Amino acid sequence: MSAIPANRHPAYPVDEMFPARWSPRAFSDAPISEAQMLSLLEAARWAPSASNIQPWRLVWGLRGDAGFATIFDSLSAGNQVWAGKAAALVAVGSKSTRTTSSGEEVPNPTHAFDTGAAWASLAFQAHLSGFVTHGMGGFDKDKLSGALNVPQGHGLHAVIAIGHPGDPASLPEDLRNREVPSQRKALSAIAARGAFPV
């Protein structure tokens, strides 16, 4: 678990894991074991969800296996530049319907919201375990859905790269220059007492 980056300054007290987690693109070659991976997925399992439906679905692969290659193949060219050194890739999807007591499939309006909680849980467990994660929306959703046989009523949201922190010098120059923890909007821009923040 790493400390809070020097350029990040929480405005109010928070556990350090929140500002300390960030999304680098430099990974070392070190692998992640299946047991370590299952521990990260277990954290996602305990995320909260509406009616405890747990709509998230996670497809994972470790570097060198067929699952990793399938997910990697769907990534945008820009993401493929760096994500191939990740130790694991996870495709994050969800079931977008729920089953009523009469057995009918109806839309579950919170499936994406709940799945966001699951990915965040995985990301924070990864951070606490000394790994880094990097979410990616830059992938071919149709291609990966087809390759993974994603069933009707389900969809993919993002791909997550997971690995050990690496040396930024291993990145091409443009990405190396971007290898800096990002900042955040002011709290007042996203949260307001009794009014919608605009």
Q: Which of 25, 44, 49 is nearest to 165 (CA)?
A: 25
Taking the least distance from each CB to ligand FMN, the nearer of 101 and 183 is 183
Residues that bind ligand FMN (CB under 6 A): 22-23, 79, 134-138, 158, 181-182
Least distance to ligand FMN, CB of residue 16, Å: 14
Closest-CB residue for ligand FMN?
138
Taking the least distance from each CB to ligand FMN, the nearer of 69 and 81 is 81
Where is 151: in which H helix or E strand? Answer: none
Least distance to ligand FMN, CB of residue 86, Å: 12
CA distances from 193 to 12, 136, 184, 198 (A): 16, 32, 19, 12
Query: In what order do the strands lie in the sheet containing 154-163?
Result: 56-62, 88-95, 154-163, 132-136
Taking the least distance from each CB to ligand FMN, the nearer of 49 and 79 is 79
User: Which pair of structure tokens corresponds to residue 6?
Assistant: 């020097």
Least distance to ligand FMN, CB of residue 44, Å: 14
| Tokens 């399992």, located at residue | 45
Least distance to ligand FMN, CB of residue 91, Å: 12
